[in-house]
Amino acid sequence: MTNPNNATITTVHRAEFTASDALKIPTLRILQDDGSLYDGATAPELDKDTALKMYDTMVFIRVLDERMLAAQRQGRISFYMQCLGEEATTVGSAAALSDQDMIMAQYREQGALRYRGFTLEQFMNQLFSNEKDLGKGRQMPVHYGSNAINYMTISSPLGTQIPQASGYAYAQKLRGLDALTLCYFGEGAASEGDFHAGLNMAAVHKAPVLFFCRNNGYAISTPANEQFVGDGIACRAVGYGMKAIRVDGADILAVYQATKMARDYALKHNEPVLLESMAYRLGAHSSSDDPSGYRSKEEEALWRKNDPIARFKAWLLKQGWLDEAADNAKTEQLRADILDALKVAEKVAKPGIEHLISDVYAEPIPALQQQLDELKAHIRKYPDAYPITAGRLD
């Protein structure tokens, strides 16, 4: 018998539904708040250097977020997005990858970016959209990207990176590379059509992608229970014929272990895997958002205790890998370094006028060159109105 419907046919003779909650996805937890492991849990294999790099990255991002949100409030940058409460999610998953793996992120994954080696100066240049920004000052703050470290430039439209990750990973497979693509997105973005399109295509075409859902409870103001009804996002993987794993997103050991396992599986079998990391977006959606309009201080206070950095720090102290006094001194130094870098970046000039038309195409088309020439003539006539470029048109 052929199977034209591509489905199992288990026959019953009385009508019955399959329950909508038939599938219950467990959540992996390894590390407790006090730094000890849960009974039966095993810490992933993690050497001291890697563990400290993960910790330093989390601290770096926390301090950077504090400082740059303040800089936005001072009017020094136009916009910012912090990842408070989700540091373990992105750092733990990025640490489980190879540097050759492509990361396609949504926008709140600065932890992964920093872990890959994006420098403080590169962060600042992007945030100030100055002429040293790799993105040439074209995108709002936090839309980072770097070819050199395999971190795809962020795009604001939600979910568009999901089917792209499937295509990118398919190409990695065709090229025979020992690398895959990790794709971050939020539980809100999982409502976009691109989520369905991307997951289905990756499953059908056997593309090695790790679809990494950061379920942080909110899409701007919309809580997850107004976003979907099923059991989180992980249960959907099963519908696509894909393996899934759910982890506590504030538990960096769990995130690391799950991602490592998923990576090994995806590469070995050329299959996508869906990971769902359960955390809480402790900060506002962005500097333009005010959560007091949609959630209580009490709710936030409760989650504030669930600090991923404190939990990991407790474990590192237990390992005897962290010296608290030295760590505090290092953090103070980091604050000073960040402020210094900020002061440097905000004084760097904006991109020159030629970057208004460069990169639209590989080479400017004739109409664009003509438009630029006309614009330059106009600016020469009214230099005071265009202070950024008037003094350097040639």
Question: Rounded to an integer, what distance in angstroms lies between the CA atom of residue 88 and that of residue 30?
Answer: 13
E strand intervals along the chain: 27-28, 102-104, 181-186, 209-215, 218-219, 222-223, 243-248, 273-278
CB of 209 to another protein, least distance (A): 9
Q: Are 88 and 252 in contact (CB under 8 A)?
A: yes
Choice between 189 and 309, CB closer to another protein: 189
Binding flag, residue 197, another protein (CB under 8 A)? yes
Stretch that binds another protein, among 47-55, 93-101, 159-167, 305-313 (CB under 8 A): 159-167
CB of 36 to another protein, least distance (A): 42
Three-state DSSP at 276 gives strand
Candidate list 294, 335, 380, 392, residue with the active-site label: 294
Using the rule CB under 8 A, which residue among 361, 382, 385, 394 binds another protein? Answer: 361
CB of 145 to another protein, least distance (A): 5
Using the rule CB under 8 A, which residue among 26, 75, 320, 366 binds another protein? Answer: 366
Binding flag, residue 205, another protein (CB under 8 A)? yes
Binding flag, residue 373, another protein (CB under 8 A)? no
Question: Rounded to an integer, what distance in angstroms lies between the CA atom of residue 14 and that of residue 252?
Answer: 47
* Beta-ladder partners of 184: 212
Q: Are 198 and 152 in contact (CB under 8 A)?
A: no
Residue among 92, 110, 115, 88 nearest 46 (CA): 92
Q: Are 207 and 173 in contact (CB under 8 A)?
A: yes
361 in active site: no
Binding flag, residue 382, another protein (CB under 8 A)? no
Residues involved in catalysis = 281, 285, 294
Which spans of this chain sit near another protein (rule: CB under 8 A)?
A: 102, 104, 133-136, 138-139, 143, 145-147, 152-153, 155, 157, 160, 162-172, 174-175, 181, 193-194, 196-198, 200-201, 204-205, 358-363, 365-368
